[in-house]
Every structure is written in structure tokens, then in C-alpha cells.
Structure 1
Amino acid sequence: MAERTRSGARARTSPPAGSAPPVRKRPKNRKAQIATVAAEAFSERGYHGVSIEDIAKAVGISGPALYRHFPNKYALFVQAVNQLADALDAALSQFDDDIPDDGAAAILDNRLTATIGMTIDNRRTGGLYRWERRYLSDDDQAKVRGKMAVINRRLAQTLRELRPGLTATDAALLATAQLSVIGSITTHRVPLATRRLQTLLLDACRSVAATSLVPDEPAAAPTERTGIAVANKREVLLHEAVLLFDARGYHEVSIEEIGAAAEINASGVYRHFASKADLLAAAFHRAGDRVALAVSSALADSSTPAQALEHLTEVYVELSFAQNALMSVYFAEIGNLPAAHRSDLRNIQRLNIEEWARLVADLRTDLTPVECRILVHAALNLVLDVGEMTRFRNSASNRRRTVDLMLAVLLGDAATRRDSEASAASTGTRT
């Protein structure tokens, strides 16, 4: 019989000598647990920056034990991406049969609140979608994007019920912008209390929902390029590298492929760049310089914070649409930079964010500096997601619509009131 302690509790006794150790039960949700840990690792370090051994160690199991659940790292990656998409779908679908007395506005708030809550809960894993486009097979990519399209349609349908005059295309655009605003918190680690973060994101999404979109117009037919080709081989290499990094991801591209695209052999590439990492760093410095130039020119041409923010959004959108591959690489691939470059370039990005946030703070005295930075991240994230949805169609109306969505996020009700007044005062298209 086991001894009792002074308190009367039964004391633990060691098993008899020679007896088998107790069998540890495997958690029923082990596969989902592994996928969650993997998603966090992939989100932080990218697909190629994580090994099966890293994930197994984080879960607390051996590599062979992990292989009992997933045959390889790619299968684990697919599971992690799909698990995140399914969680988002579940958060939204719970309101499919819910029809509050307040109608479409309440339904939209419910859907947005659920999406925000799910994203906050999965903030450490949400960055996974930065890598999805590059590393999933065509079939798996199509499946995930099909799930995301269903999620977008749920929001878009509610937006059309709230604003019956919206076209299906415009509602989908607003839904994309809302999802981008919410998802932006997975791209940075700016801290804010959960309740305040929920309110901030919900208010920004409401402002997006109320944004008046100028009529969309097709882009002008591209003019035939008749200029002289760039002779500087370093510039040609940098240009081709950015296109390949954007299309396939840094790790999927070799120096030989970059050289072939630039019509230079591999040894010729090394005369201009010591390594592929140096090519990526050069792309980051190029993008950082252009963003910094956009900020300084907008400030120099403005006399008030409101005017400066308007100019800055216009210049930034124009840059992003004209140089979309460069800007996409700038935001997606920083984790692949060598440590020596990464710290400096993160500081450059941080300083640019601070300039934006300072302007917002001058116009939004109701917000703290931290809240202003979060909204800036949301507005910048929106440009790439809306741009990708519209295939960066570089028309004046498409750029204007993107600018107005950015300003709705940054200025909140002030931007909404401005758009309403402009819409009531004129039936023409702004340019």
C-alpha cells in the first residue's frame, strides 16, 4: 500500500523494479499540433529556412515520429496552409444562418470580428501566406486560392447587402482590402492590447466598407517600347533577379538561371555580385531608396500633414504599380537576407514606417503612436494585395481606388466623410 503524507494525500511510489515504464498516450490532435508548430516556423523563417528536425524538436518528438504523420516537409507545408485557410473559413461560416435584427451592418461586423479574432489568435502563423504563392504546386495553390475565394465571396456578399449599388467586382475589391487590413498584423510584431487591436482593425475595415470607389476604367493600351536597351550588366542582372525572386521565391532561383535570363554566364554574374544573397540585398536597397525618395518628395511638395499624406499615398501607389515585382520582394523576402544586411534594412523599413505614422498621428489625435504604426502597416499591405487582385493594372482609376482605400484605413471616418462629400458634389470621375 502507498504511504500517505502528513496531509493525508497519497504519496507517489516508484514502480516495482523490473516493471515496464508507463505507456505515454499520444495526443489525439498530434497531427494538428505538428501543423501549427510548422506554420509558426514557416511563417517566421520561410519554407526553406525550416527543417523537419526543427519542427520535430519544437513539438517534442523525434524526426521518425513526425514522419508517421507526414511523409515529407512539403506535405507538412500543405497541411499548415490548409489548416489556416480552414480556420478562417470556419470563423466566417458560423454566421451563414445568422440574420441579426440590425441587418447587413451587423452581419458584416460579426464576420469581420470573427476574422479579426481568428487572425489575432493565429498571428504567429498568418505570415505563412507570404510563401504560399511561391512554394505550393499549381494544384495545391489552386485549392487554397479556391478556399480564399469562398471567404472573399462571403464578405463581398454581405457588402453588397449593405451597399446594394456595389458591383460584384467592387464588392470583391473591398473584401480583399478588408482581409488585407486584418492580415497585415501577421507581417509585423507591433504590440497592442488585444481588445484595442480588435477595435482598431474593425474600425479600419468599416472605413474600407464605406469607401466610395471611382468608376473603374481600363488601362491604356501599352505603347511599344522603342528605347535603347540598358547596357549596364549589373542593372540587367538586378532586374532579372527581382522578376525571378518575385515569381518563384529566393530559394527556388539559382545564379545560373539569373545569368541565363540576363544572357550572362554564371562566372560573369560573380563579376558584378559576390553571391545570390548580395543580389537580394541590392534589390532591397533599391526598393528602400525608392520608398525613401517617395516619402521625401511628398513631404517637400506639401504644406500640411493632410496634403503630405495624400501625396505620399499617390506616389507610393504609383511606385508599387510600376515596380510591383520589386516591392513584392521588398516585403516578402527580408527573412532571406544575410544577417549583416537584414538589420540595416529593417531599420530603413522602420524609419519609413515612422514617417508615415508621424503624418497619421498629426491627423488622428485620437490614436497613439503604436496604433498609427499598425494602421500604416495595414495600408501598405493593402496596396500589394489589391494590386495582385487587379494584376497591378496600371490605370489612373485603379491607382485612385487604391489610394482611396489606403486613406480610408489611415484616416478612418475623416476619409469616409471626404469621399461622401466628393461623391455628392460631383458625378464625374476623379483623376
Structure 2
Amino acid sequence: MVADRSEAALASVRPDSDSSRPDGRSGTTDSESGPRRRPKNRKAQIVRVAARAFAERGYHPVGVDEIAAEVGISGPALYRHFRNKYALLVAAAEMGAQQLLDAAKASDNPELEPEPRLTALIRGIAEYTIDVRREGGLYRWERRYLEREDRARIRVVYTELHDTVAAAIAGLYPDADPADTQLRAAALLSAIGSITAHRTALSTTRLVNLITEICWDILRTDLPPAPAPITGDPILRGLPVISKREQLLTEAIRIFGRQGYHEASIEEIGAAAGINASSVYRYFASKADLLAAAFNRTGERVAIGNNEALAEATSRSDAAVRIADRFSRMTFAMPEILPVYFSEFSNLPASEQHRLRSVQRQNVLEWANLLDGDQVEARFRVHAAIAQVIDVGRRIRFDGRAENLARVSALMRSVLLGGNAGE
């Protein structure tokens, strides 16, 4: 388990002695005198710095002293606000969820007609998300490190956010199947949140307009029918591979995705593949070697899918949609693969990070190059399409029946092609 998780609740704020210097920096020197003052928003400042660090580098690699230094206080001064790093994670996730919900509610006006109501709601959520872009993806990737009770409490806030968006969509489509309304709400929030997963630059005005356009593309998507509820035992597909190396790699991806790299152990990975820990080292030199192999394997799969789609396509837009279909099938077959691929970079050896980041970027650029219009905006559309697989997939528990894959593909097509999606 994660160290210090026993402190699941936020720490109480105690009076502290960290101060603000006349030059605006925190702390005092021996030569300074006079009353010490601390900023009124010190606790919120600490939480936001922590959220940014956890979102960008992951929960485990970030130290409390690093957060304190970024804020401009000492480690002991930070502990006067929060008992441990886990309390900081809870506070950051909770503050992010609540402020996002507050932004949505402040932008929502049920008295408006459905279209202007939805447009105002989308723009309000988008503007807030742009403002917190660097830390906005914290809960999406790092929630696996939250204790169950904390995750459940924060999930209530996100459920209220989702319901707020779904209620506005229901006003636009009052006769729609509730499952379609819920799916569109998840897809819309996913498209907005996708900007936190990359650093492609665009002015705030253009980005808000683009997000609004993408969200309306989602709202206008003609969704295929949802599958019937499963009755009886589900049909199991797929046979296990014989290669022990492949088994280890598959199990490592699953365990890294569910628990995070630092929570996984070689013993656990080996047991899942049916061997002991010492035998794992016959195939992989270390846990870091396993993680690097997982990144390489995923990058290869994406690149192969791109190449196959290009070879089969009859047009650029057809190729973009074929890539989307392959990407969704790959992810639904192993849902843990994307949390590993997008959130464990800081745990790779430094020599691997630059090379694998280049592979990721090239795969996105290959996809974006198939889209018409501005290429920077095209990259935002590709990331929003990827987000549909992750977030809508989670919503439907990665149920890989053909009907569900068709619904995800329809959303991805609309996100990628916009008004040309029907062509």
C-alpha cells in the first residue's frame, strides 16, 4: 500500500509560523524583524502546487520538500497544514473536483433555451479547465492511489458534475434514451478534460472556441443503438499465449494500470504469470525494464495500427477513422494499457523518456496529419478522440461488444472530422 495512507482525511490546519517577506517571498532571515504574516490563501496555494506536481510527474516521485520549496516555505511549515503527502493528494483531488463542479454550476442557467444553456455550460467548464490545465488531470490518472473511502467521496462530486451536464443535454434531447444522454455527457466532459493530457499550445480564445465546437460535434453525433443488457455468463474470448515473457509483460501492464508502478511488485507480477520472483529476472532485468517494455510494446501497437489503416484507406478521412477503430479495439482488449502509457513516464529511466515521448508524439502527428484544417487544432481533436476511448470506455466498463465499440467509434469520428463526420 502507499506509505502514509492511514491518514485518509485532510489534516486540520494548525497555526503556523511561515511568513511573507516584504519582497513577496516566503520566510524570514535572522536580520529581519517585525510581525510575521502568512498569506491568507497559503493552504490553497500549497494544494494547487501539489496538484500540479502530482499531475505532471505522478504521486510517488514527488516529495513534500519539493512542494514546500515551490511554495516558498520549509517542509516543517507545510506539515503544519497537512500531516503527510497522502493528505495533500486527497486535498488536491478534492479541491479540483469541487472547483470544477462550482465552475459548471456557475455557468449553468436552466432558464435559458437548451442550445444557449449548453453552450454557456461548455464554455464555463472549458475556461476553468484551461486555467488549471497543468493540474487538471490529477484525478483522472492518480485516483488509483486514493483510499476507497476518499475516492468514493470525491466520486460523488464528479457524479454531480456529470448529472449537471446530462440535465442540460436532456433539455436538448428530451425524448432521447437516457443511456445516450449519459454517454454524451461523459463524452463531452472527456473532450474538455483531454487538454490536460498534453501541452499543445493554442490561445485561450481559440481553444475555448475549438472545445465548444468539438462538444457540439459530440452532441450532434448519431449514436448507434446501445447493446442489450448481458444475461447469463459473458462469452470469454481469447486464448493465453505460451511465451512466459509475453505473459509477464501482459500481467505487468495490467497490474501497473490498476495499481500504479510503485504499488506493483515483481513478486505480484511473477505470481500472476505463474512463476516466482527470481524467475522473472530471467526475462526482465528489473521492474523498470518491464515498464520500458510495456511502453515500447504499446507504442509499437499504435504505430502498426496506424500503418495498417493507412495501407487500407481510400482517403485521408477514412484512414483517420480506421486508426480510431483500431485504437479503441486495442484499448478495450486491455483497458489498463492507456493509464500506463500516459501516466507512468516519470518512472522510466531518463534515457528512455525522451525517445518514447518522441514515439508518442509521432503517433499523434501521424493521425492529426490526416485531418483537414489547422494542424494545431487537429492535434487537439486527436487527443479528444483518444480521451473518448479512455473515459467513455470507463463509463461502460470497457464492455467490448460490437455495439459499444460502434458507439465509441461514432463519437471518435465526430470528434476527429467534425461537420464532415457523415461523409
TM-score (normalizing by structure 2): 0.89
**Using the alignment, how far apart are the partners of 1:381 and 1:97 within structure 2?**
27
Instruction: Determine if the alignment matches structure 1 residue 21 to structure 2 residue 29.
Output: no
Change (3 A) 1:336 1:130: farther
Which of residues 382, 406, 410 is equivalent to 1:400? Answer: 406
Q: How many residues align?
A: 392
**Using the alignment, how far apart are the partners of 1:407 and 1:84 within structure 2?**
30
**Using the alignment, how far apart are the partners of 2:31 and 2:68 within structure 1?**
29
Report 1:383-394 matches (<5 A): 383-394=389-400
Native 8 Å contact 2:107 2:124 kept in 1 = no
Native 8 Å contact 1:219 1:393 kept in 2 = no
Which of residues 168, 173, 183 is equivalent to 1:173? Answer: 183
Q: Tell me how far 1:202 sits from its aligned partner.
A: 0.6
Native 8 Å contact 1:112 1:202 kept in 2 = yes
Structure 2: gaps of 5 or more residues: 1-29
- What's 2:115 paired with? 105
Moved over 3 A (4+): 95-98, 218-227
Native 8 Å contact 1:295 1:312 kept in 2 = yes
Structure 1: gaps of 5 or more residues: 1-17, 419-431
CA-to-aligned-CA distance 1:325-353 (integer Å, 9 cap, x gap) = 22332222223211111111111111111
- What's 1:137 paired with? 147
Instruction: Determine if the alignment matches structure 1 residue 89 to structure 2 residue 101.
Output: yes
Q: Tell me how far 1:230 sits from its aligned partner.
A: 3.2
- What's 2:52 paired with? 40
**Using the alignment, how far apart are the partners of 1:328 and 1:400 within structure 2?**
22
Q: Tell me how far 1:95 sits from its aligned partner.
A: 3.9
Q: Which amino acid aligns with 1:353?
A: V
Instruction: Determine if the alignment matches structure 1 residue 239 to structure 2 residue 250.
Output: yes
TM-score (normalizing by structure 1): 0.87
Native 8 Å contact 2:309 2:322 kept in 1 = yes
Q: Which amino acid aligns with 1:93?
A: K
CA-to-aligned-CA distance 1:228-250 (integer Å, 9 cap, x gap) = x5332211111111111111111
Native 8 Å contact 1:130 1:332 kept in 2 = no
Q: Which amino acid aligns with 1:126?
A: G
Change (3 A) 1:196 1:202: same
**Using the alignment, how far apart are the partners of 1:273 and 1:79 within structure 2?**
37
- Identity rate, percent: 47
Which of residues 316, 321, 344 is equivalent to 1:310? Answer: 321
Which of residues 48, 52, 72 is equivalent to 2:64? Answer: 52
- What's 2:347 paired with? 336
Q: CA RMSD in A?
A: 1.8
CA-to-aligned-CA distance 1:320-378 (integer Å, 9 cap, x gap) = 21122223322222232111111111111111111111111xxx2xx321111111111
Native 8 Å contact 1:132 1:141 kept in 2 = no
Instruction: Determine if the alignment matches structure 1 residue 164 to structure 2 residue 206.
Output: no
Point out the more displaced range, 325-334 or 32-41: 325-334
- What's 1:72 paired with? 84
Native 8 Å contact 2:288 2:349 kept in 1 = yes
Q: Which amino acid aligns with 2:87?
A: A
- What's 2:370 paired with? 359
Change (3 A) 1:53 1:412: same
Native 8 Å contact 1:133 1:141 kept in 2 = yes
Q: Tell me how far 1:24 sits from its aligned partner.
A: 2.8
Native 8 Å contact 2:184 2:219 kept in 1 = yes
Instruction: Determine which structure has more spread, i.e. the larger CA radius of gyration.
Output: 1
Q: Tell me how far 1:396 sits from its aligned partner.
A: 1.0
